[in-house]
Copies of this chain bind each other. A is one copy, B any other.
Amino acid sequence: MALVVHKYGGSSVADAEKILNVARRIGAVKDGGADIVAVASAMGDTTDDLIDLARTVSPEPDPRELDLLLSTGELVSCALLTMALRRLGYDAITLSGFQAGIHTDTMYGKARIHRIDPARVRSELAEGKVVIVAGFQGITDDLDITTLGRGGSDTTAVALAAALEAERCDIYTDVDGIYTADPRVAPQARKLAEVGYEEMLELASYGAKMHPRSIELGAAYQVPIYVASSFGDAPGTLIHQVAEMEGMENRVKVTGIAYQANVAKITVRSVPDRPGVAAALFEPLAAVGISVDTIVQNTSVERATDISFTVARSDLPRAIREVETGLAALGAAEVVSDPTLASVSVVGSGMQNTPGYASRMFRILAEGGINIDMITTSEIRISCIIREEQVADAVRLLHRGFQLDEEE
């Protein structure tokens, strides 16, 4: 029997009416003869509310305890979704992360899935049940509850689809697909019917509303991921392996413009220029699970250098503390930071081996009066760090400048 995995985001299960709507959608799949596993996020802003609640008792809540706290959000939404399904006459059951066999490492707040033991999911499916799995959470080998980080429910869904060898993983959310840019910022943005894993990874890493790790997982296990709205039936975007030839023909231009707000930059001044400095700087950050994005270093003649890098703004206070700890052994380096930055990225597999995209991007930004603070590139992406207040302008200018505004 065909098996599909659905994932419903927080806005899709934000209240009783929306939960019943999702239950009807899931029921329709079951009625159509397929087995279905659905992953749900916490209702609406529950996760943020729980974080706020934690801060009322402690300015820096213990990560293990915070994960236990946050994991309750998905238990609530999933239990309600299962109740709604049962009310509609479907046999359904909720499995928490540990009941669904989602085993992770111990990096609280950003845990990675080690393995999935889908025995319980399979046995419930075999009994004809709809299986609702709490997203975003897992369990360590010591039976401690972890969470997978923001958007981790996408990762749960794709990982389950891979473990269960599902036909497809559908991600239902409050947007109806992947656009050439955020439509709220660039009203001229167009929806993509399909996109390759690599491009989607860059788009997701730089602002599109999907968890990058879910795309990585999809690519690694070749799980087609379909992103669509839970509120209607408009066609969404299929993320899958785009055939090479097709890609070369269709993708001679930019796929989309991504952006990311809430970027903070840390600069360490006058770092001695000798081997091991970068390791001493970044190892402590990695050890506490802080993701570092753009890194820029330019060594001058005086055998000392400045190193700049960006982190999520929410990680800034911890990052500064770790950097200062790590640098104590290296001499009196000064640490300065800027919390009000953003990144804007041009993404497209058509850019590969094609000169001129970077200079064109810089020209468009310059003509818009937008100063570039840092630059980073990948095979299929060029990103610039700019002032946060200019990021919406930058997205619109780049979307128009790379001819994404026009009809296909």
Chain B residues with CB below 8 A from A83, complex form: 54, 57-58, 61-62, 65-66, 69
Copies in the complex: 2
Majority SS at the chain A contact face: helix
Per-position binary interface string of chain A over residues 70-98, scored 1 when its CB falls under 8 Å from any chain B CB and 0 otherwise: 01100110111111101100000110101
Q: State the CA gap A144–B75 with chains docked (Å).
A: 13
* CB–CB B16/A57 < 8 A: yes
Smallest beta-carbon distance A82→chain B, Å: 5
Closest chain B residue, CB of each to CB of A145: B96
Smallest beta-carbon distance A49→chain B, Å: 11
Q: State the CA gap A397–B78 with chains docked (Å).
A: 50
Q: State the CA gap A68–B94 with chains docked (Å).
A: 8
Q: Determine whether A53 belongs to the interface, using a CB cutoff of 8 Å to chain B.
A: yes
Smallest beta-carbon distance A372→chain B, Å: 41
* CB–CB A65/B79 < 8 A: yes
Task: Using known A-B contacts A76-B72, A79-B66, determine if residue A57 contacts B19 with beta carbons closer than 8 Å.
Answer: yes
Smallest beta-carbon distance A290→chain B, Å: 20
Q: Determine whether A313 belongs to the interface, using a CB cutoff of 8 Å to chain B.
A: no
Q: Determine whether A353 belongs to the interface, using a CB cutoff of 8 Å to chain B.
A: no
Chain A interface residue bracket vs B? 35 or more
Q: Among A23, A50, A69, find the residue whose CB has the most chain B CB atoms closer than 10 A.
A: A69
Closest chain B residue, CB of each to CB of A143: B99
Q: Determine whether A354 belongs to the interface, using a CB cutoff of 8 Å to chain B.
A: no
Q: Determine whether A56 belongs to the interface, using a CB cutoff of 8 Å to chain B.
A: yes
Q: State the CA gap A62–B86 with chains docked (Å).
A: 8
* CB–CB B68/A54 < 8 A: no
Q: Determine whether A25 belongs to the interface, using a CB cutoff of 8 Å to chain B.
A: no
Q: State the CA gap A50–B61 with chains docked (Å).
A: 24
Q: Determine whether A20 belongs to the interface, using a CB cutoff of 8 Å to chain B.
A: yes
* CB–CB A50/B68 < 8 A: no
Q: Determine whether A209 belongs to the interface, using a CB cutoff of 8 Å to chain B.
A: no
Give A contacts to B, CB under 8 Å: 15-16, 19-20, 23, 50, 53-54, 56-59, 61-62, 64-66, 68-69, 71-72, 75-76, 78-84, 86-87, 93-94, 96, 98-99, 120, 143-145
User: Can you give 6 contacting A-B residue pairs, CB < 8 Å?
Assistant: A53-B76, A58-B86, A65-B82, A65-B86, A68-B75, A68-B79
